Amino acid sequence: MGRRGRVDKTFKAAAVAGLLAAGVFAVVPGQALAADAKPGLPSEMAGYSYLTGNVTSAPPGRAVALWQYGFGVEFMDFPQAVVLGASSDVYRRLDVAEGRHGAETQGDPGPMLLSPDGTKAAVGHYDIDPPDLAVVDLATGDVTTHPLPEGHSVIPLAWSPDSTRLAYGASTGPDNPYSGDPRWPVGSRLSVVDTTSGAVTKLPVTDYAAVAFAPIGTDVAVETPGSIRVLDATGAERRRLPLPAERHLAGPSAWSPDGRLLAITRPMTTCFDPADYVDPTGLVQDCDPSTDGLSFVDATGTGAAVPRPLKGDLSGTRDVLGWTSPTEVVVLDDLTAPTSPDFTDQKHWVTAVSVDGQQSRRLMSVPDDGNYGVGRFHLASALAPDLEVRPAGSADRGTWPTVVRIGAIAAALGLLVSYARSAWRGRQRARRRAAYRAARLAAADTVAGHPASAP
What pLDDT is stored for residue 410 in this prediction? 55
* Confidence band, pLDDT 50/70/90 cuts, at residue 338: low
pLDDT of 321 above 60: yes
What pLDDT is stored for residue 174 in this prediction? 81
Measured distance CA(15)–CA(17) in Å, rounded: 5
- Percent residues over pLDDT 90 in the chain: 51
Q: What is the mean pLDDT of the chain?
A: 80
User: Which region holds residue 293: left if phi is over 0, alpha if psi is between -120 and 50, else beta?
Assistant: beta
Average pLDDT over residues 378-407: 83
pLDDT of 214 above 50: yes
* Confidence band, pLDDT 50/70/90 cuts, at residue 314: confident
What pLDDT is stored for residue 118 in this prediction? 97
Measured distance CA(255)–CA(369) in Å, rounded: 32
Measured distance CA(418)–CA(59) in Å, rounded: 36
Residue 152 and residue 127 in contact, taking contact as beta carbons nearer than 8 Å? yes
What pLDDT is stored for residue 105 in this prediction? 72
**Bigger pLDDT: 256 vs 173:** 256
Average pLDDT over residues 210-224: 94
Dihedral over alpha carbons 108, 111, 114, 120 (to 10 degrees):
-100
Q: Read off the pLDDT of residues 70-92 as tens digits, 9 standing for 90 and up.
A: 887 767 778 999 999 998 899 99
Average pLDDT over residues 441-445: 65
Average pLDDT over residues 164-168: 96
Measured distance CA(33)–CA(56) in Å, rounded: 17
Residues linked to residue 65 through DSSP beta bridges, in sequence order: 84, 379
User: What is the DSSP-derived secondary structure letter of residue 68?
Assistant: E
What CATH homologous superfamily does 30-398 map to? TolB, C-terminal domain (2.120.10.30)
What pLDDT is stored for residue 199 in this prediction? 95
Residue 353 and residue 329 in contact, taking contact as beta carbons nearer than 8 Å? yes
pLDDT of 309 above 70: yes
pTM: 0.79
Average pLDDT over residues 375-393: 94
CA distance to 69, 118, 236, 343, per residue, from 154 (Å):
22, 21, 23, 37
Give domain limits for the chain.
3-24+405-447, 30-398
Measured distance CA(364)–CA(43) in Å, rounded: 5
Looking at 110-124, 280-294, 335-349, 355-369, which range is the least confident one?
Answer: 280-294
What pLDDT is stored for residue 163 in this prediction? 96
What pLDDT is stored for residue 430 in this prediction? 65
**Bigger pLDDT: 214 vs 175:** 214
Q: Read off the pLDDT of residues 45-70 as tens digits, 9 standing for 90 and up.
A: 999 999 999 999 999 999 999 999 98
Q: Read off the pLDDT of residues 226-247 as tens digits, 9 standing for 90 and up.
A: 999 999 999 999 999 999 988 9
In this structure, how many other beta carbons lie within 10 angstroms of the beta carbon of residue 103?
A: 10
